[in-house]
Amino acid sequence: MDRLRIGIVGASGYSGAVATRIASAHPNLALAFATSDKLAGKSVATELGAFVPADVHFVANGAALDHVDACDAVLLATSAEVSLRLAPAFADRGKQVIDLSGAFRLDGPSYPRWYGFAHDAPAWLDRAHYGLPELFGSPPKGALVANPGCYPTAALLALGPLLREGLVLPTGIVIDAKSGVSGAGRQSGEAYSFMEVGDDLRAYKVLEHQHTPEITRALERCAGGPTQLTFTAHLLPIKRGLLATCYARPRDGATATRVASCLAAAYADARFVRAVPPGEVMLKRVVGTNAAYVGATANQDVVVAIGAIDNLLKGAAGQAIQNLNRMNGWDEDLGLRHLDRASP
């Protein structure tokens, strides 16, 4: 078969770089272009270790739309403001679009509060597919895919099936989540320097995190009605990995055995999600892979559900490729099978 030509915008950021390496080794994809302002003119193979010819070079971010005719699909590893402009432009030209930002994950009125801008492409919000395949299925062929955030992916995979089965109350949900520093993106601010991050643990964007409405919206789809959520993100002094611990009030019948069996049944046929006892949900089992480990238990007072992922893979680039595979009717682990976890 002819390979699907893919362009990657923002290919020198952490998620974009990982996506570029995966795409370059994917048997059904051919890298059409990769953009980066700081690496413009440099070899993609040399800078990223991607499996492309040495004469394939980065182009500037501003030139992305100049290459629209060279690609069949585009992956946007860009800020929400940039994706808001680029995603409709590529989609209107008939290109498959996978967006890693939050530009198409919420309803229109939420954007000024959580992202600081008014959304000016509301028609695309209605057409966007929230790309968490294990909970919400494969993207339609022509959809703009809003790839979920890393925190929402881990939390929703752990908690979503329990809400769908009516095992927990939709109010009073608490999510305590912790991510490695790469989740903040490639930036050079003092707050993310080794001296500031090492040997530390901190909460950030408390009651202000933009993933709060995203998680809430998806949980409401699972619950079939309103939910009430408190979400707090924390910064771990590690490079990669994310663990979300979710607390919810049990409904009648939500025993430890029942909540564990609910997750096991929900993911029995899932390629990437594995239901295990809560104590076996750990970062070293997922970092370097597109896998998610989830586990849950309960007593008469609380249900605890835990999810762990690699924030750059299942939380970003890996899930983007998984969505692209599903959109095109390919095996969903194509291009992702070779990924190996970082620890024995």
CATH code (residue 235)? 3.30.360.10
- Other CB atoms within a 10 A radius of the CB of residue 75 amount to 31
Domain for residue 181, yes or no?
yes
Q: How far apart are CA 270 and CA 254, in angstroms?
A: 23
With beta carbons less than 8 A apart as the criterion, state whether 173 and 216 touch: no
Tell me the sheet residues that pair with 173.
Answer: 229
Measured in whole angstroms, the distance separating CA 311 from the mean position of its chain's CA atoms is: 7
Tens place of pLDDT per residue across the chain (344 aa): 689 999 999 999 999 999 999 999 999 999 999 999 999 999 999 999 988 988 899 999 999 999 999 999 999 999 999 999 999 999 999 999 999 999 999 999 999 999 999 999 999 999 999 999 999 999 998 889 999 999 999 999 999 999 999 999 999 999 999 999 988 777 657 777 777 888 899 999 999 999 999 999 999 999 999 999 999 999 999 999 999 999 999 999 999 999 999 999 999 999 999 999 999 999 999 999 999 999 999 999 999 999 999 999 999 999 999 999 999 999 999 999 989 888 77
- For the record, the structure tokens of 138 come out as 């494969």
Quick one: 182 and 260 in the same domain?
Answer: yes
Catalytic residue among 150, 222, 246, 262: 150
Phi, psi of 29 (to 5 degrees): -120, 150
Quick one: 169 and 300 in the same domain?
Answer: yes
Q: How many domains does the chain contain in total?
A: 2
Q: How far apart are CA 144 and CA 175, in angstroms?
A: 28
Quick one: 239 and 108 in the same domain?
Answer: no
Which domain CATH number covers 16? Answer: 3.40.50.720
- β-bridge pairing 96-99 and 144-146: parallel
Quick one: 157 and 115 in the same domain?
Answer: no
- β-bridge pairing 229-235 and 173-179: parallel
With beta carbons less than 8 A apart as the criterion, state whether 15 and 100 touch: yes
Quick one: 102 and 155 in the same domain?
Answer: no
- For the record, the structure tokens of 285 come out as 């089992």
Domain for residue 123, yes or no?
yes
Quick one: 127 and 160 in the same domain?
Answer: no
Quick one: 285 and 301 in the same domain?
Answer: yes
Which strand (E) or helix (H) includes residue 294? strand 292-298
Phi, psi of 231 (to 5 degrees): -120, 130
Supply the range of the domain harboring residue 176. 151-309
Quick one: 179 and 35 in the same domain?
Answer: no
- Name residues whose C-beta falls within 8 Å of residue 289's C-beta, 6 or more positions apart in sequence: 310, 313, 314, 318, 339, 340, 341
With beta carbons less than 8 A apart as the criterion, state whether 27 and 335 touch: yes
222 is catalytic: no
